[in-house]
Amino acid sequence: MSAGDATYEEVKKLSQSSTGYIIDVRNPEEVQRGKIPNSINIPVAEFEAALRMDPETFQKTFHVEKPKPSEENIITHCFMGKRGAQATAIAAALGYSHARNYPGAYMEWAEKEGH
């Protein structure tokens, strides 16, 4: 079970922090059109395999430390919310009990940030 949903305000705060993870599960072509600062792109089709990677492989692949299942700030998002919700469910099933979806997704972010 996931820890619920994240709000725009929570994502904004986390995007300005050096702690936690904002994971963008859109395809790379979508991310090229705009992204939330400090987010990591792991397409939803690769998400489960990524969370199953050993920490060294994850670091080499995504250039960040692999989140621990106990990490309290893991927020997934996509463009409209559906893939983000799928990714959050995958994370929760793998023991990342604090993982949350940002249902407003990049669509809300871009609107509020004026992109």
Q: Does 2 fall in a domain?
A: no
The residue behind tokens 């249902």 is 103
Q: Does 3 fall in a domain?
A: no
Number of domains in the chain: 1
User: 36 φ, ψ to 5°?
Assistant: -80, 130
Summarize pLDDT for 61-102 with one digit per residue, the tens.
Answer: 999 999 999 999 999 999 998 999 999 999 999 999 999 999
CATH number for 39: 3.40.250.10
Q: Does 58 fall in a domain?
A: yes
Give me the pLDDT at residue 2, please.
56
Range of the domain at 80: 8-66+73-113
Q: Does 1 fall in a domain?
A: no
Distance CA 44, CA 41 (A): 9
Q: Does 16 fall in a domain?
A: yes
Catalytic residues: 78
Q: Does 33 fall in a domain?
A: yes
Q: Is the dihedral of CA 12, 76, 42, 95 positive or negative?
A: positive
Note the helical H segments in the chain: 8-15, 28-31, 44-52, 55-62, 82-93, 105-113
Residue 1 scores a pLDDT above 80: no
